[in-house]
Amino acid sequence: MPYVLISTGCAFAVFLAGRLDRTPWRYTSVADLLQVIVLSVLAILLALVFTFALNRLEPVARSLPVVQGGLIVSFLVFARSAVRFWHTRQIRINGNAGVNVQPHETVLVVGVNTLTELYLMSASEFASRRVQVAGLLAEEPSMRGRAIQQKPVLGTIEELPEILQKLEVHGVAVDRVVVATAKDRLRPRALETLLEVEKSSDIVIQFLSEQLGFEGFSEEAAALSSQKRNFVPEQSALARLENVIDIDNTNSNFLFRKRIFDVFGAALLIITLTPVVLIVALVVALDVGFPLIFWQQRPGLYGRPIKLYKFRTMRAAHDRQRRIPDDERSSAIGRIIRRARLDELPQLYNVLIGDMSLIGPRPLLPCDQSTDYAGRLSVRPGITGWAQVNGGRIISPSDKCILDIWYAQNASFVLDLKIVLATAKVIFLGDRINTEVVNQARSDLCLNSQLRAIMVPAE
């Protein structure tokens, strides 16, 4: 009883001090789950110290703290992930989720004020599936790292070029910068940075005060508008995806059963592989430092943007003077981690929240996702897939997409089992191109196209 009371008090104190209650469960991220693990371990250690000081832990079984810590972490991680999954599912259902892929635009918001909050609320209410806010820019450096409505402050306005480079590394192409601060309140250097970015790139700078009719163009903006370029802002490959996704051959009952299998499989693997994850995290921390997790924006099911998580295996992409080449950023340890696919372990969280599946086409960068192969987006992307076990990194992009589309049209539990067994072989023996499988996929897809042409009468 003393240990129960002490551990409960320590948990309350540590969780409140660590602000674990500040993040709504429906917005849980990988960082929040890592925070749960760290704070839970700290709470158990404090309880052990206080109980030892009280009665030297004589009535407490030595295995009890381990079991207790495991149960706390498992419950909090599972509960938060379940709420996040349910919230995401409800948004998709209420938002009339379907195969229609709407144009997608990525936005940065300048300013931390009431208008910023109003814009974020409006974007979420009226354009949640069309406008994605990548983050905020503040006037003051002290705001860096804070968040408004779960949107992080990435830095200051003067740091906009560097922030755009960092987002580009993550696969995020910014289309528009929305300025929620009046121009006369911006520092001259900040305004100059915004206008220079618009002049030197395809990014559109939009001042909300002008859009609302409260302010005319400044002299700088007027001069720029007189020299305005005639261009159509280039959207990412994801935004140009048309409604060409064919899911007629996909069994909805199979996909539902597969989703259930994914949830239980991912949860089991997370619990089982926790020691491996901790070891890899330690190695990454010693090799490339913090942060441990790297993310990139990729097109997921039906082309919706998802954040793909990985362990970092390369050092920072930029220093103060230049962009560092990939061969200089990589280390021998990083190459070993990638070779063993250990950097993919954080994607079990993607599977748990419904962004990915254990088996499916690997998600590509938006710029690499061609509309000609949009059929591969008709199923959830996977940690491993048919293309990965029949060529992996050495197969050509077109053949990889062909294999992915063939999988989408022929997905089954038997095929998934083959992929699981083949994945283990690839990890130990490396990537090898299976020419027979590639040719068979080409032949099957060509035959299906011919049959559709025969069955669909010409207009």
Question: What is the reported pLDDT for 268?
Answer: 92
Instruction: Read off the tokens for 46.
Output: 């404090």
Instruction: Read off the tokens for 353.
Output: 């929240």
Whole-number Å distance between alpha carbons of 430 and 392: 9
∠ CA 215-216-219, rounded to 5°: 125
**One-character DSSP codes across 33-49:** HHHHHHHHHHHHHHHHH
Q: Detail the DSSP E strand segments found in 123-175.
A: 131-138, 147-148, 151-156
Whole-number Å distance between alpha carbons of 356 and 259: 9
Question: What is the reported pLDDT for 321?
Answer: 65
Question: What is the reported pLDDT for 420?
Answer: 92
Question: What is the reported pLDDT for 211?
Answer: 80
| Mean pLDDT for the stretch of residues 241-266 | 70
**Is the confidence at residue 101, as pLDDT, over 70?**
no
| Mean pLDDT for the stretch of residues 96-124 | 77
The whole-angstrom distance between residue 280's C-alpha and the CA centroid of its chain comes to: 20
3-state secondary structure of 223: helix
Whole-number Å distance between alpha carbons of 190 and 192: 5
Beta bridge partners of 138: 156
Instruction: Read off the tokens for 149.
Output: 């409505």
448 confidence band (pLDDT: 50, 70, 90): low
Residue boundaries of the structural domains of the chain: 2-94, 105-226, 252-455
| Mean pLDDT for the stretch of residues 350-374 | 87
Instruction: Read off the tokens for 45.
Output: 């250690």
Question: What is the reported pLDDT for 96?
Answer: 46
- Tens digit of each residue's pLDDT (9 = 90 or more) over 127-186: 877 888 999 999 888 888 888 888 889 999 999 999 998 888 888 889 999 999 888 888
- Tens digit of each residue's pLDDT (9 = 90 or more) over 215-247: 654 444 444 444 443 333 333 333 343 344 444
100 close to 129: Cβ distance less than 8 angstroms = no
CA distances for 412 relative to 254, 329, 381, angstroms: 7, 40, 15
**Is the confidence at residue 99, as pLDDT, over 50?**
no
Question: What is the reported pLDDT for 241?
Answer: 39
Would you say the pTM of this structure is higher than 0.85?
no
| Mean pLDDT for the stretch of residues 276-298 | 89
Question: What is the reported pLDDT for 279?
Answer: 93
Question: What is the reported pLDDT for 178?
Answer: 94
| Mean pLDDT for the stretch of residues 362-366 | 87
Whole-number Å distance between alpha carbons of 191 and 219: 12
| Mean pLDDT for the stretch of residues 298-305 | 87
Q: What is the CATH number of domain 105-226?
A: 3.40.50.720
The whole-angstrom distance between residue 125's C-alpha and the CA centroid of its chain comes to: 22
Question: What is the reported pLDDT for 303?
Answer: 84
* Of 60-74, 127-141, 245-259, 266-280, the least confident: 245-259
Question: What is the reported pLDDT for 95?
Answer: 52
Question: What is the reported pLDDT for 27?
Answer: 67
3-state secondary structure of 298: strand
Within a 10 A sphere around the Cβ of 316, how many other Cβ atoms? 13
267 close to 85: Cβ distance less than 8 angstroms = no
Within a 10 A sphere around the Cβ of 126, how many other Cβ atoms? 9
35 confidence band (pLDDT: 50, 70, 90): confident
* Of 55-64, 110-119, 222-231, 351-360, the least confident: 222-231
93 confidence band (pLDDT: 50, 70, 90): low
404 close to 387: Cβ distance less than 8 angstroms = yes
Question: What is the reported pLDDT for 393?
Answer: 82
17 phi and psi angles, rounded to 5 deg: -65, -35
Question: What is the reported pLDDT for 403?
Answer: 92
Whole-number Å distance between alpha carbons of 355 and 298: 10
Q: Which of 333, 339, 458, 319 is nearest to 393 (CA)?
A: 339
Higher pLDDT, 271 or 54: 271
Beta bridge partners of 153: 136
**Is the confidence at residue 260, as pLDDT, over 60?**
yes
Q: What is the mean pLDDT of the chain?
A: 81
**Is the confidence at residue 37, as pLDDT, over 80?**
yes
CA distances for 97 relative to 18, 67, 100, angstroms: 37, 41, 8
326 confidence band (pLDDT: 50, 70, 90): low
**Is the confidence at residue 379, as pLDDT, over 50?**
yes
| Mean pLDDT for the stretch of residues 405-422 | 91
**Is the confidence at residue 416, as pLDDT, over 90?**
yes
111 close to 186: Cβ distance less than 8 angstroms = no
Q: Which of 409, 125, 412, 84 is nearest to 246 (CA)?
A: 409
Question: What is the reported pLDDT for 85?
Answer: 79
Higher pLDDT, 244 or 307: 307
Whole-number Å distance between alpha carbons of 15 and 29: 17
**Is the confidence at residue 19, as pLDDT, over 50?**
yes
